[in-house]
Amino acid sequence: MTPFTYARAHDVGEALRLGSTPGARYLGGGTNLVDLMRETIERPAVLVDVTGLSGDIEERDDGSLLIGAGVRNTALASHRAVRLRFPMLARAVVAGASAQIRNMATVGGNMLQRTRCSYFYDDEGSRCNRRSPGQGCDAADGFNRNHAILGTSPSCVATHPSDMCVALAALGAIVHVQGAGSQRSVPLTDLHRLPEDHPEIETLLAPGELITAVEVPPLAFGARSTYRKVRDRSSYAFALVSVAAALELDGDKVKDVRIALGGVATKPWRAWKAEDALRGQPATAEHFRAAAEAELADAKPLHDNAFKVELAKRTIVAVLGQLVDMKEVTP
């Protein structure tokens, strides 16, 4: 392991000052970063521990939530307001990892976790543009069963691994970011970049910027929501396909809907086309299928993962059908 120094920040100002040091990285729960350090994929010169910052969940009068970046995943999933108002978020967090990892992982760290592509982790034997820009992408022509079919480029086909971010994308979450002398808010759907020609640049964050919180706006029909994760085994594994969805009905028609996909894209994927296709339409399996077809029309399957196209469509239809039949939400 490459030598590094460690410092614990006591407030945001101190974190930003320490984070401006060349080679500095912010440390949350460490469930991803420390693994990458062991594999020598990440080689930070300074670790700035920010786990003591922003550890609260604020319930606002308008029904929104302000979730501190330091909130542990366990605390997020078990929070009463999250379970009652936004059950898709609680279920996504629980589906994402074991209890031990959830007890350590933070909301901010979850948003910034890096891909689990095996070629990305294979520092000695594989080419990876995300790890070493300009090397090439061995996944494109290699074993790519678990890779992306949406948002890909010739430079990278790796999926984004977060379950939590899929639910946050569907909920229209806003990420609060602070830098030296400035603050800004970024829609979560814009936080993660598509790979295009520079997959090594994964987010819109500038060097030294710190995520301080994520805001979940009020959603009147958020209680009629769920998260379904399709994976190879029932124990903790990364998604082949996942769907976060919320549905509002007006009689037998779709008044409003939120859908996001995981396991199929290079970033948490908001299904804007499917949503647009559904509003005002009858809430039937036929129309759910047509919306799914619209969303997956631009999919670019690889030689090992073409099954994801049909699997994603069927999962969207199944999840929306479940929400139509939902009489009462049980957190």
Q: Is pTM, for the whole model, over 0.75?
A: yes
Rounded Cα–Cα distance for residues 159 and 136 (Å): 16
Domain membership flag for residue 169: no
Q: Answer with the one of 36, 51, 66 that is the final residue of a domain.
A: 51
* CATH code, domain carrying 34: 3.30.43.10
Interstrand relation of 5-8 and 46-49 (parallel, antiparallel or unpaired):
parallel
Q: Is the pLDDT of residue 328 over 60?
A: no
Rounded percentage of the chain residues whose pLDDT exceeds 90: 94
Q: Is the pLDDT of residue 1 over 80?
A: no
Q: Are 227 and 157 in contact (CB under 8 A)?
A: no
Rounded Cα–Cα distance for residues 21 and 18 (Å): 6
The whole-number average pLDDT for the span 290-298 is 98
pLDDT in tens, 144-200: 999 999 999 999 999 999 999 999 999 999 999 999 989 999 999 999 999 999 999
Handedness of CA 213, 99, 50, 270 (dihedral sign): negative
Domain membership flag for residue 44: yes
Domain membership flag for residue 282: yes
Cα 228 to chain centroid distance, Å, stands at 14
Which one, of 289, 228, 282, 233, lies nearest residue 260 by Cα? 228
| Predicted pLDDT at 327 | 64
**Radius of gyration of the CA atoms of the chain, in A:** 20
pLDDT in tens, 240-271: 999 999 999 999 999 999 999 999 999 999 99
Domain membership flag for residue 20: yes
Q: Answer with the one of 17, 33, 51 that is the final residue of a domain.
A: 51
Domain membership flag for residue 185: no
Domain membership flag for residue 278: yes
HSE-up of residue 284 (Cα within 13 Å, Cβ side) = 5
* CATH code, domain carrying 242: 3.30.390.50
Structure confidence at residue 329 as a pLDDT band (50, 70, 90): very low
Domain membership flag for residue 300: yes
The whole-number average pLDDT for the span 13-21 is 95
Domain membership flag for residue 161: no
pLDDT in tens, 75-129: 999 999 999 999 999 999 999 999 999 999 999 999 999 999 999 999 999 999 9
How many CB atoms are located within 10 Å of the residue 177 CB?
Answer: 21
How many CB atoms are located within 10 Å of the residue 58 CB?
Answer: 12
Which residues form the domain of 40?
A: 5-51
Phi, psi of 284 (to 5 degrees): -125, 160
- Work out how many domains the chain is built from and give that number: 2
Exposure of 61 by Cβ count < 10 A (0-12 exposed, 13-18 middle, 19+ buried)? exposed
| Predicted pLDDT at 331 | 42
